[in-house]
Amino acid sequence: MDQKFFLKTLVETESPSQDKAAVDRVGAIVAEQARKLGGQVELISNQETGNHVLVRFASSKGMGGMDKGNKPILLLCHMDTVFPLGTLSKMPFREAGGKIFGAGILDMKSGIVIGLSAIEDARQRGMTRPVTLLCTSDEEIGSETSRTWIESLARESALVLVLEPAMPDGSLKTWRKGVGDFTVNVKGRAAHAGGAHEMGRNAIEEMAHQVIAIQKLTDYGRQTTLNVGVIRGGTVSNVVPEESEIVVDVRVMQPGEWERLEEEMKNLKPVLEGTSIEVSGSLNRPPMPFNDLMNATFEKAKAIATRIGMDLNAGGTGGGSDANFVAPSGIPVLDGLGAVWDEAHSDREFIYADSLFERSQLV
């Protein structure tokens, strides 16, 4: 497989999560490449988001049913990106000075290339285990339709490798915070700001009190953060606002922290008489802690890396990925096996060309 040509094809086929037809085009390209490498492809169809691509590769001795009891290694990739159609014209695929640029190249079209290259290489050498590859369509929008597939495929696997980008220095992502959100609605009472100010109950004023209280639930010592990231309320300046709403991003690492926050949020009390508060929210991705199992899994990876002349370190991030869904199952999981990069989330973002080969060797 020509890694760069395949990568160019994937990058030049834009695939924002919300555009099913676009993501399906990438799915068709991935499926075709996987079939060429000898995989059995199954398309998992979805109504609103793109289809997931599930590929099973037998081990070298597995053709005659020998893979019974020989648990597979699961490779996890996603095909959707955060970039809307047309971004490619501003961030085209190009290579210069050992760097490769292009919309979506980092997160994570390069990961798909690295995963398939690793499989191709392993098959040429003789694979001792079967490999399952799942390329999903909705990771950037919460993995709603892929989560049950990820969880059930992980449970039947010996190890899960997630091809998300590495840390900028090449470290693996060995811990990730859990990610959740709360929506808070405040109801007041509308009144004319000139004629009946005293009759109104200002929902924005009430919400201001709540915003301060919620921000204070942040506890850096416990690695817990809350961010009131969106606020809405009111209609026009001469009416006392009847409603206000906020959306709060929550990150947790320690056991019990989400439950503590749920309790605190449920107990929020209005400060202004005549207003009311309603809270809803959920933990979308559970935390992936650096526990004993992660430590043991990472040490094995580090030893393998040393054998191929690579110095591998353990890093982590407050951002979530599909690895978070695997962590609670107790199945060994490693994340951040994808490309090495810099200047993420800008139009200068790039991956180091050499990392395509290096990371596929590592996988």
In whole angstroms, the minimum distance from the beta carbon of 82 to Zn ion comes to: 9
CA distance 140 to 146: 11
Return the range that interacts with Zn ion (CB under 5 A); candidates 8-16, 105-113, 324-332, 338-346.
Answer: 105-113
Residue number, 82 or 304, with CB nearest to Zn ion: 82
In the block, tokens 């002349």 appear at 309
Which of 7, 34, 73, 108 touches Zn ion (CB under 5 A)?
108
End-to-end CA distance of the chain: 16
Quick check: helix, strand or coil at residue 112? helix
Q: Of 107 and 242, which CB lies nearer to Zn ion in the complex structure?
A: 107
Q: How far is the CB of 162 from Zn ion (least distance, A)?
A: 9
**CB of residue 227 to Zn ion, shortest distance in Å:** 20
As given in the structure block, the two tokens for residue 185 are 């609605």
Pair 282, 182: CB distance under 8 Å: no
Taking the least distance from each CB to Zn ion, the nearer of 108 and 353 is: 108
Residue 107 binding Zn ion, by CB under 5 A: yes
Which CB, 135 or 240, lies closer to Zn ion?
A: 135
Q: Which two structure tokens, joined as six digits, stand for 238?
A: 């001469």
Q: Would you say 82 or 293 has its CB closer to Zn ion?
A: 82
The least CB distance from residue 138 to Zn ion, in Å, is 11
Segment lying near Zn ion (by CB under 5 A), choices 38-46, 51-59, 88-96, 162-170: 162-170
- Contact segment (CB under 5 A) with Zn ion among 55-63, 121-129, 160-168, 218-226 equals 160-168
Cβ of residue 20: shortest distance to Zn ion, in angstroms? 19
326 in Cβ contact with 153 (< 8 Å): no
Instruction: Name the residue with tokens 């650096």.
Output: 290
Site residues (CB under 5 A) for Zn ion, limited to 61-100: none
Looking at the Cβ atoms of 7 and 204, the one nearer to Zn ion is 7
Neighbours of 271 (CB within 10 A): 14
Phi then psi dihedrals of residue 310, to 5 deg: -120, 140
Residues 6 or more apart whose CB falls under 8 angstroms from that of 168 comprise 340, 341, 342, 344
**Given the complex with Zn ion, which of 102 and 241 has the nearer CB atom?**
102
**Residue 240 in contact with Zn ion, rule: CB under 5 A:** no
Q: Give the separation between CA 238 and CA 360, rounded to whole angstroms.
A: 62
Least distance from C-beta 318 to Zn ion, angstroms? 14
Total residues at the site for Zn ion (CB under 5 A)? 3
CA 271 vs CA 208, 241, 261, 262, 279: distances in Å: 10, 16, 19, 19, 15
335 touches Zn ion (CB under 5 A) = no
Q: Least Å distance between CB 69 and Zn ion? A: 33
Tokens of 152: 């059930």
Angle between helix axes 110-125 and 20-36 (nearest 10 degrees) is 20
Residues binding Zn ion (CB under 5 A): 107-108, 164
